[in-house]
Structure 1
Amino acid sequence: MDSEARKITEEAWLICPNWTEVRRFTKNKNNKDKFFEYMFIDSGIVVGALGENPPLMKTRKEIEIDEARKEYQKLITSGWQVTEPKW
């Protein structure tokens, strides 16, 4: 795992190669589990021709932080790029 994936401790944003979908990785700060940290992964669809509107959020899942880092790395490897916050 590269150092970029390790950095997603609070929030990180990715956009897919054709700029139609975004993912937001955010740490669950209200987690009650004393043994594992969790992250939310929100997926959204880019709205408008130039993405001038905020993406339409479609899904949210909560997974252990190590699994979130693996998913982040897999997306980067498949061509997703870091982007600025979209909403």
Structure 2
Amino acid sequence: MNRDSRKVTEEAWLICPNWTEVRRFTKNKNNKDKFFEYMFIDSGIVVGSSGEAPPLMKTRKEIKIDEARKEYQQLITAGWQVTEPRW
């Protein structure tokens, strides 16, 4: 995904407004479901005052790609910003 959440790319990163949490959206390339595509959403906590270290990954969930698009758009609406890969 990118700024246009209807497009699916291999990976997209968002960072929260206060720069304490990141989310990585990645397409599940090994999906066995023939009817639906899935994405992983990894959440991590930013480590250090300026984020010089990779974030500490806290959670991973796998959801249908349409649900991932909705979550991505909700985060953008809530003030999250597109960021560079963090790990």
Q: TM-score range by the shorter chain?
A: over 0.9
TM-score for the superposition, normalised by structure 1: 0.95
Q: Deviation digits for residues 7-54 of structure 1, max 9, x if unmatched?
A: 233110000000000000000000000000000000000000000000
User: 3-state DSSP class of the match of 1:34?
Assistant: coil
Distance 1:85 1:75 in 2: 17
2:81 match = 81
Tell me the CA shift for residue 56 of structure 1: 0.2
Q: How many residues are aligned here?
A: 85
Contact 1:47 1:55 in 2 (8 A): yes
Tell me the CA shift for residue 4 of structure 1: 1.1
Distance 2:9 2:67 in 1: 13
Give the alignment's Cα RMSD to 1 decimal.
Answer: 0.9
1:45 match = 45
Q: Which amino acid is the alignment partner of residue 19 of structure 1? A: W
Deviating 4+ runs (over 2 angstroms) = none
**How does 1:7-18 map onto structure 2 within 5 Å?**
7-18=7-18
2:69 match = 69
More helix per residue: 1
Is there any run of 5+ residues in structure 2 with no aligned partner, and where? none
